[in-house]
Amino acid sequence: GAVVSQHPSRVICKSGTSVKIECRSLDFQATTMFWYRQFPKQSLMLMATSNEGSKATYEQGVEKDKFLINHASLTLSTLTVTSAHPEDSSFYICSARRGQGNNSPLHFGNGTRLTVT
Amino acid sequence: QKEVEQNSGPLSVPEGAIASLNCTYSDRGSQSFFWYRQYSGKSPELIMFIYSNGDKEDGRFTAQLNKASQYVSLLIRDSQPSDSATYLCAVSGGYDMRFGAGTRLTVKP
């Protein structure tokens, strides 16, 4: 069964509005979660690493003021796309490691398809 | 820049054949290697992982790792139409995981 839950699965919003995406680890605690973005026919691109109780670590080129990440508990991380624009339309996917250690596999949520009109 | 390279394909094989998917990586410090399958419009799902040189088999899937050549592959035996998807190679050397662009596989009935 699923080990990472992501919500919503699909959202359509108007340009200039904000959208919040939730990512939950099911039956395990995730001190770290990862947020990826995927444009059509392209690979997964790591946007940021969400750290419970501290600031997220953003990849180069990702605007931290536009993509707000909050990891307030050991099972929940949220990504808020602020002042969304059509170019932010993409597939956003969160993930977490269930096992111990940095080499254990990542498990992905079902993703959120964001369309900004 | 830590690179993970895959042939984007598309790779087309007939049903029942062996599909061979390849991946190379640039970071010699990489320690763990993963293969994910991604259906169109869906998120990736883990197929296999491998940490040591050699082969690892799981059902119809075999992962092969050669750290000296910085090469990892996935073999799918008795390919089925339901195996048609994009296969992502992922490499981890520690904290995060880097993905290749994926190889699109089509298995024709």
Give the C-alpha separation, A79 to A64, whole Å: 11
A110–chain B nearest CA distance, Å: 5
Mutate to test the interface with A, among B3, B34, B42, B43 (most CBs of A within 10 A): B43
Residue B31 falls in which region: left (phi positive, over 0), alpha (psi -120 to 50) or beta: alpha
A76–chain B nearest CA distance, Å: 19
Q: What single-letter amino acid sits at A116?
A: V
DSSP 8-state class, residue B17? S
Position A57 pLDDT exceeds 70: yes
Mutate to test the interface with B, among A103, A110, A112 (most CBs of B within 10 A): A103
Q: pLDDT digit string (tens) for A6-48?
A: 999 999 999 999 999 999 999 888 888 999 999 988 888 999 9
| Structural contact between residues B79 and B17, judged by C-beta atoms closer than 8 angstroms | yes
Q: pLDDT digit string (tens) for B55-80?
A: 999 999 999 999 999 999 999 999 99
Contact B95 A111 (CB under 8 A): no
Q: What angle do CA B21, B26, B27 make, to 5 degrees?
A: 120
Give the C-alpha separation, B43 to A108, whole Å: 7
Closest by CA to B34, choosing from B90, B75, B73, B84, is: B90
Which pLDDT value is given to residue A35?
96
Give the C-alpha separation, B41 to B43, whole Å: 7
Which pLDDT value is given to residue A41?
82
Give the C-alpha separation, B53 to B63, whole Å: 10
Which pLDDT value is given to residue B95?
66
| Structural contact between residues B70 and B25, judged by C-beta atoms closer than 8 angstroms | yes
Contact A49 B95 (CB under 8 A): yes
Percentage of chain B with pLDDT > 90? 80
Q: How confident is the model at residue B85 (pLDDT cuts 50, 70, 90)?
A: very high
Closest by CA to A94, choosing from A107, A80, A75, A113, is: A107
